[in-house]
Amino acid sequence: MDRETDDSQVADANTFVLAHCNVARAKGSYEDPIMQGFVDRLDPLHELADNHPGFIWRYDPPDDDDTVLRVFGDDRVLFNLSLWESVETLGTYVYRTVHKEAIRKRDEWFVPFGGPSMVLWWVAADHQPPVAEAKDRLDRLGRDGPTEHAFTFKHRFARPS
């Protein structure tokens, strides 16, 4: 039986939450003028997400943590990892707020990543995924396509019961 479905078939909304990771390879450093439009939007978009219904948590490494650089091997890779109550709450933030303007302008600031740049998966509500787990999910999506272990907005899988 295909488990691909919409989020309306939630068995226990408090057991699993949605993990979301997106990555992008910047055209320059944060200080580079080409990145200014993105940098100017970053804090307001984080604040909007933090206050958006359904937002739970975002990975925020200490200043001296180079985990992302070690895992991705490229200091121009920008990394975002967050937890949300559902696919719908994340989708509303991504596609129905000013965030959608940043998506439309992404080619101004980023070059193709060379694989999936966004992945979704379900995690236990008390789990905050580390960077390596998110990278593994991106790799799985690229290798296997959408599965219950790594999926997309377009090809989503039901919350585990």
Strand partners, 24: 78
Mean pLDDT calculated for residue range 51-57:
97
Asked if pLDDT for residue 139 goes beyond 90, the answer is yes
Question: Which alpha helices (DSSP H) does 12-155 contain, by range?
Answer: 36-50, 67-72, 87-95, 99-104, 106-109, 131-144
Query: Distance (Å, rounded) from C-alpha 111 to C-alpha 103?
Result: 13
More confident residue, 4 or 34: 34
Handedness of CA 107, 111, 116, 119 (dihedral sign): negative
Q: What's the pLDDT score for residue 132?
A: 94
pLDDT score, position 62? 77
**Checking phi first, is residue 105 left (phi over 0); if not, alpha (psi -120 to 50) or beta?**
alpha
**C-alpha dihedral, 90 to 144 to 125 to 80, nearest 10°:** -50
Rounded to 5°, angle at Cα 110 from 20 and 51: 40
- Model confidence at 3: pLDDT above 90: no
Task: State residue 64's pLDDT score.
Answer: 73
Q: Which of 155, 157, 119, 154 is nearest to 136 (CA)?
A: 119
CB proximity list for 8: less than 8 A, separation 6 or greater: none
Q: State the pLDDT at residue 67.
A: 79
Q: What is the pLDDT of residues 66-122, one digit of tens each?
A: 778 888 888 899 999 999 999 999 999 999 999 999 999 999 999 998 899 999 999
Q: Would you state the pLDDT for residue 14? A: 59
Examine the pLDDT at 12 and tell me if it is beyond 60. no
